[in-house]
Structure 1
């Protein structure tokens, strides 16, 4: 279908040039055009085949018709191969190309007609548009006679198909109507198709002829233009000759003046060299000024910038040097964060004439503050008055932040070392101190059990017991602060636990102070020892009460929070993650900054002597750190104080807690208890308590003696009570040996020092019975009774709480 554009350059064609040979460029264009036409034909046939497949799918015609359509389509596509081969091998003139194209066009018309018939015959008359497209294409690219000839062939073929259908020679394929079309309808369609084809042939031939005429006119004008350009070239040649003659004369005159200009030329060379060096120097300075990472500036003593480079604008957050020059009209207030720094800057420049590494804080465009280091030189007039400052700045914000970070880390290190020292002291003393307290409290309780309130020494015994309990509380606070307190964490809802304490807290703070409770619904769970939470709330509320004095409000609040990297960067010691926040606020007197820096120090107190131990907030601090939390305090004098405690969110499920009935059995059933304790006074006290309760007691001063008694004793040993920290063998190892000898013997561990084998990081191991020294006879009796009577199936929480009352 593709043919080259006809190029009739002359209206009169002689026989000698009727069939000129085509050059290689024209042949290549013809071949390429036919390749594109082959692609278009292939796509058109593909569309028709899709249409045919759709019609066959909905049972419009039979399978044999579909096969016929496919064969015709493949024939049309296959004609592309011989067409392209013949064009490449045989075609050398236009006439031969037109003849070959017409031959293949006729084959395409016949094949199109066959497809039209198979798709419905007369009902598929709309496909005659393919005739029109083919005729239009030939009319454009070939002489006029070819388009009319092809239009006639298309009309004859179409009429032949209609005639054969009408005469019944070919069966009618009615796919779009229920009945064959009427003869008059076929006549109308035939006439319409013929008119369409010849009208298309005429319009396309006429349009092509007009385009060829326009092309001929343009070629004629192009020829005339070429003649004009040749004439202009001739004139230019003559002008060039005249110019050469003139240049020759000028050269002769110039030669006469050359001697006069030699000395001027030397001076010019010297001047050019000087100017070139000056330009290079200026260019070098400009590159340094504009491309330096440091910020260069020129300013006036009255507070305006004359010139700055791009780096200066970038450091201060401006888009361009012009932006900062037009925006800052008063350096002292718009550039310096502290106007006093500007005064010091000018004073030093006036005295020294230059300034190096002047560190100050400046204001960026967005209002943020950064640190810069300035080096400046001042220029003075004849009277000694400064007229300009030239200088350079560098951004030292990161260095300053690093220095501040180092200072904070140093402070934290000192604080940690101080805390560790106190912790080691508390842990070291706790073992022996708690042993002695246990002896005092045990014997006091035993004597009180035998005495009556009318006894002359009863009040003295009560004072001894109270003093021992206060000493036990003091030891417990020290251990809590040093994070060496034995704990049993439980999964808690802070709202439920705090609500259970509100009544006690209101009694603690008094009636004149209002206690406001603001819980958040659907609060996350935390994992903490309930007794530690009691200590936190009690200590914070007591501090808030003392800060308020008479009348005021204490607010307890809970909230789910997520700490991000930005928060943790500002608040050292905090770690990113999900937390439950417990806040205690008051509207009391508040604290200055110097007091806030010391409030967590042990034994630091602002209360009057005798009104505080200085361990309340230290205990809170230790508990929070032991539970991997974070504590923050906000306070201003006269505006109250807020403590915010962040406890890590527990993502596990909450286990139901069982409650044991606390009762003190008056008698035992004569069970045998083996007691291993390396401190004689404590051993004797425990033996006396158990004897009085009716147990049979085997006592051992060291682990080896306990093993010997376990091996030699013929009866059943129901319970082993052993200290954990003992020389030669610890209590856990001793329990293992005895369990191998007597598997039914239960074990109760006791200790006054928690850094041992059953307490890891302050947390008592699961499935372990433990009582912390010092303890009262009542608590020991309840622990022993619960273990022997109820076994280990009842859990450990209540046993631990009972044994931990005075720890």
Structure 2
């Protein structure tokens, strides 16, 4: 451990010891809830002191001050833990991770290509939704690999690699056959062994070992099964040690590996003339099947069930207390004939095996595989059926697919909004220029105003698209959620009308949150309007704000919501509710259940984007009491490491008339023409360039322009690259970027000092104001 790490460990231990001493000394005077809180404090301090954090970068040591991150690491101290930052680089790993994988970072983990692709999908899902989980086989073990997003200032993903003991079927069966279960099978007359794909023995019960060695009781774990058994000319099976005069045997095998993969098998041997398999209702055989950890059933030649174990019942969605007669009773009507034919076909062929995709009545939307194998030597049983309960895996796959789709749609929405903003800039700009030549009362004045009004309405739609794609510019403030609700309550009463009653309830002890108050008001209004439309005959809309502690979040058991302290807003209505098949789609852009012309489908997608960009989470529910509920969780604001906000005095109105030389760089001809005419009308001398290369040629002279106005995204050379080259020659050159993307998004990707932003679409007046403001600030420096 490095010196910094040692100091951190020692400080943690001292802190834990001191905290423990103080808390223990006060325990006697505390009531029961106080004692529980003290014990929790001791546990937290102890975990912080004892966990050995391995720094991957120097910045990792500073991140230990984030209590959320330290707590997340402490929760997984007994399993490999790795922290990854936004860039995908490892921040730190615990000792268990380094010991297990021999390094720090995902590069040290022996992922297969398929698992590495799943890792990429899960990483995106975790950054967007707070957590993700998938299964992978690493070396000789299966792991449940789970990510949790932690930290607010510099968030990281905390990855835990938990060994999946229940997932390894072969290991479970090997332990059972070699232990007490194998002993009980032997007493029932069943000889059992687990063999690998090369017929090597992995486990054997005492009954089979005794018969295979003719009572010699020697070690057999290294022998191959074919060395113990022999076939005579008539195809009868016997133990080699017992000789040709011994009674023939019957052998059947059950695959333990996943479908379509080689792997261990369970081999069961019984005497050919034994009464054990004389009928399908044999108790010993059923005992064997009931002990196996996966769904198995036996069917006769007509396809009737003879036996079903509990795992098969669970996987098939069979209600407790009922017993299906045929396998086709488990599936939907469209699959009944195919299942019945497949069972009969495999039952007659005996030695064949195959899979068939089925849709269960219990889960008609999730096709699963049923494995059917013909059997021999099992009395009336002619077919062995196997089902795997993959409902959890299917649910996770659906969540990952939904998150991936939402991310892809968000990227598309952001791109469409950018291109559309360029078009609207030209339309609004030309309207402003025409209005300068017309006065109220002219025949064309009202028409131009109408075109401008509709253009501004279109611009509001692009802002909604940017909100959904989380690319809008937010102006976050530290605020109390009840205050925001109070500010918008009067507007809500007017929007809801007389038939809908508005009920507002505020909880106690709520902490502050950090969000854009204007955007939060838009969220509340959009949700209220949707609720009103769902209550056509009137009803009650309830807005409730309350605090959610980390303990309460943990009790929710959500796979998406990270365990932390939140302030929640729940909006519940008494309307028609949300159909279950639509509840996962309501936040998608342009999805609406309203009639044509009565909605754009952007209301809830805007809400979704604002909440997610604010660091929160949003869920839709159908309460048992009826109606629908939308719940928003916003993380509490701690203010750690932040500078206090300083209220700036209001800026004085700028004089729009200016002077000076402006270099205008814009690849869209329409936008470039409007901006040139607007700046010229306000007194500037304007030189234009259609791309970055042309602008650099114009800057080759010795005289610098007074202001450089450039688009951000341009072909060949973009705006930031142009500015970097220009400032090599003119370090003090003022720069104004204009873009259809959001300022907040651009500032994260552009590392250039002393630049200003003007979002598209803009009017002639807004362009003149922005140019004048940049020149005024440059002159004041």
TM-score by length of 2: 0.49
Higher strand share: 2
TM-score by length of 1: 0.48
